[in-house]
Chain A
């Protein structure tokens, strides 16, 4: 162990730490926590597995409806409308989600 190094380290460490360092005051901490909370990234609107389960449910409903006998034609029509509406709205929803995320990262 070098004596010179030891002596120098002792002197510069004591010199650098000779100042009394106060902790953050409660209101300072509060301001930081509030700002962090304000910037908290919003959680995903729906987890991916929920979206996948909903899509699978919709497809299953459509298949079951189309395999039913003729007297239940109304159900077939409802299933068809639900499927088409979802196919049409999904790209729109995706665009809205992506734009919202870009906005939240940029601000």
Chain B
């Protein structure tokens, strides 16, 4: 069972206050939430605080999670507000919600991205959100291929599938990631008016 298909069941247990479910959530998303918070704040100690405040706020408001999107995207929504609060407390400005991200995702398939765009905090934060909102097998396939540099043959062996099937998983994973990135962008545009 992939992580996302197990989410409604996990969300139900979280809403009932099941400590085992909260432990599972912390173990599954603790590191990725830190990454997201780090990219939003640009500071390790702020990222730790934001992660903790996000998880505590999630405990308070889990009843409001309706399962309309991935659980991690919901957590990122909370983390975004907590990061803005944290930056304000530290006398710094929140990341701008400008149109550069739109540009990034449109350029992704067309031309090599400039370093400046790749290293933008908004790009990194959006990517973490989109990546951890994918089913686990998709995410693992993308990490194996693009971060660890494994060949399709190695990924096929890891997944216990044929070469063709592994290629198909990678292709669907790429499409799903791009879809998530574009969806996030349109959500942000709606929420920023």
Contacts and interface: CB of A to CB of B under 8 A. Distances in A.
A23 interface: yes
B81 to A, nearest CB: 18
Nearest to B51: A24
A4 B109 contact: yes
A4 B107 CA distance: 9
A15 to B, nearest CB: 5
Given A19-B38, A21-B32, A32-B59, A5 B108 contact: yes
A7 B48 CA distance: 31
Interface residues of B, number: 47
B19 A16 contact: no
B26 interface: yes
B135 interface: no
A31 B112 contact: no
A22 to B, nearest CB: 7
Contacts of A11: 113, 118
Contact of A13 (B55, B60, B147): B147
B76 to A, nearest CB: 13
A41 B118 contact: no
Contact of B124 (A9, A12, A28): A12
Contacts of B128: 16-17
| Interface SS majority for chain A | helix
B23 A37 contact: no
User: For chain A, which range describes its interface: under 10, 10 to 19, 20 to 34, or 35 or more residues?
Assistant: 20 to 34
A12 B31 contact: no
A44 interface: no
B124 A2 contact: no
Contacts of B22: 32-33, 36
B146 A6 contact: yes
A101 interface: no
A9 B142 contact: yes
Given A21-B34, A32-B26, A12 B118 contact: yes
B178 to A, nearest CB: 8
B32 to A, nearest CB: 7
B111 interface: yes
A8 interface: yes
Contact of A33 (B23, B52, B147): B23
Contacts of B17: 36-41
Given A12-B123, A15-B123, A32-B52, 14 more contacts: A4-B111, A4-B112, A5-B109, A9-B142, A12-B124, A12-B127, A13-B142, A13-B143, A16-B128, A17-B128, A22-B34, A28-B52, A33-B23, A35-B56
Interface of A: 1-2, 4-17, 19, 21-24, 28-29, 31-33, 35-41, 105
